[in-house]
Amino acid sequence: MPLDHTAKGVYPIAPTPFDAEGRIDYASVDRMTDFYLACGSTGMTVLGVMGEAPKLDGAEALELATRFVTRAKGIPVIVGVSAPGFAAMRTLARAAMDKGAAGVMIAPPNTLRTDDQIVTYYRQASEAIGEDIPFVIQDFPQTFSVVMTPGVIRRIVQDNAACVMLKHEDWPGLEKISTLRGFQADGSMRPISILCGNGGLFLDFEVERGADGAMTGYAFPDMLCDIVRLQAEGQRDAAHDLFDAHLPLLRYEQQQGPTGLAVRKYVMAKRGIIASDAQRKPGASLTAKAKAEVEYLLARVARHDPRAGKTI
């Protein structure tokens, strides 16, 4: 089913598993997808920033997206289609939708400077890929250097019927969520889904502010699912207690660029979710000192969450 504004829960951002030679590890793709399903994920997002999408060629990107969609067994899969030009964006977007994707995610290019430029870009992007394709705004100023105010997001939503979701990664961003939900309450913006990123660093309060869940990485997506579920059940203290236990590791994994991804892949490999922590070049790997720090953090998390102590 096509993505719409009612989407909620947890949509893990899937890393791309590679082997030591830089080839896509499709067996790990299947195993990781099965893990996401087993832990209660309500959707998935592939070819995102932490999916090393720029390191894939067009054929690889479509083949990988298709593998995720096929293995996901009916839960919605969002495909990142951000590209320097609209031709490549359209090609991947239309092909991914033909293979069964639920929608696409579009990040703004870092050349945008004014509100009008941002609004125009998203209108043109939707026209380019086809206004029948549901799309997600990726609001990540720390990486893309494009600042979208709540008013700009409202303009994009109101101008584009195909815009159904915001991937919210502004920081600080709690007040932005409240403002957007206020726009919905006063009728000046139609409803959209809001899923949050930043490795889940603020998920405990983001859902309390009105976010519908998470769209992010983290080596314990099962914990993210638990946080969203506990909050929905009204178990606020239990949600915060679990979040607090993981916060030091969340923070450590949130290091920018390939280092943070190296932490995530290292832990996911230790948990048996993927076979290797390899990144395709150019990439990074953890030093012995960094691995020791991660092991220390895992041991501390395991005092409160036994899942952190179950590694292979």
State how far the Cα of 121 lies from the Cα of 59, in Å rounded to an integer. 26
Task: Tell me the residue ranges of DSSP E strands in 49-113.
Answer: 77-80, 103-106
Residue 228: alpha-carbon gap to chain centroid: 15
State how far the Cα of 89 lies from the Cα of 105, in Å rounded to an integer. 10
From the list 1, 7, 13, 6, the residue with the least C-alpha distance to 199 is 13
From the list 52, 82, 49, the residue with the least C-alpha distance to 64 is 52
Q: Check the annotation: does 215 bind a ligand.
A: yes
301 near 249, Cβ under 8 Å? yes
State how far the Cα of 196 lies from the Cα of 203, in Å rounded to an integer. 7
Sequence letter at residue 137: I
From the list 237, 254, 249, 260, the residue with the least C-alpha distance to 309 is 249
State how far the Cα of 43 lies from the Cα of 225, in Å rounded to an integer. 11
163 near 135, Cβ under 8 Å? yes
Q: Give the count of beta carbons closer than 10 Å to the beta carbon of residue 274.
A: 26
- CA torsion, points 66, 48, 239, 36, in degrees to nearest 10? 20
From the list 305, 294, 282, 225, the residue with the least C-alpha distance to 253 is 294
Coil, strand or helix: which one is 164?
strand
Write out the binding residues: 215
**Binding site members for pyruvate:** 215
